[in-house]
Amino acid sequence: MDASTVRRLVAQLEQAGIPVWLDGGWGVDALLGRETRPHHDLDVIVRVSDVPKALELLQPANFIVREGSIPHAFVLAGPSGDELDFHTVTFQSDGTAVHRMDNGSDWVFPADAFTGVGTVDGASVQCLSAVTQVRCHAQGYAPSEKDFRDMELLQQAFGVKLPPLLLRPTRPDSSSG
């Protein structure tokens, strides 16, 4: 998924009154203000209450549900291969937001999680904060090479502390042998 497609999809959702926060790889690149690697999808966070409107908006573009469980976490696939990975939240009165995961448990985002502002293709976008990106990447799955790189870039740009899980494994020094 290229930057102009990301900008167009985010603008389309926001023009329909659906606030969008970028997460995942595009969320990291938005915070950094540049595309650092190719992306196969766009991870977005929207309110659970906006899911019906989002589905209605994207249906004429022939986006279909590829996997997941509406309304909490699902992937829409477009005819050109573009994928939108939705993670939905319900905001609480204290500013926190709750995401219901597939296993039925809740992931609670702190109120400051949604304070990130970035740039994609010259357009300002809302995204998860750098600290929240790190927190999300440190839970639930083994990081891949691209995850290590994304987190290192956030650490360099924002000084966020990386938990041990997100530190690239070091290789023994072969020259000391």
What is the reported pLDDT for 93?
97
Q: Domain containing 77: what range?
A: 3-162
Answer yes or no: is 133 within a domain: yes
Domain tally for the chain? 1
In a domain, 106, yes or no: yes
Classify residue 117: in a domain, yes or no: yes
pLDDT at 141: 73
Residue 152 falls within a domain, yes or no?
yes
Tell me if 91 is assigned to some domain: yes
The enclosing domain of 116 has a CATH number of 3.30.460.40
Q: Does 29 fall in a domain?
A: yes
pLDDT for the residue 169: 76
Q: Could you identify the residue written with the tokens 């167009």? A: 8
Q: Looking at the domain assignment, is residue 170 inside a domain?
A: no
pLDDT at 29 (0 to 100) = 98
Task: Tell me the mean pLDDT per 10 residues along the chain, length 177.
Answer: 96 97 97 96 98 96 92 94 95 96 91 97 97 88 89 96 83 50
* Assigned domain for 167 exists: no
Q: Kindly provide the residue ranges of all beta strands, DSSP E only, lying in the chain, ordered along the sequence.
A: 21-23, 42-47, 64-69, 73-77, 83-91, 97-100, 106-109, 116-120, 123-127
Question: What is residue 79's predicted lDDT score, i.e. its pLDDT?
Answer: 92
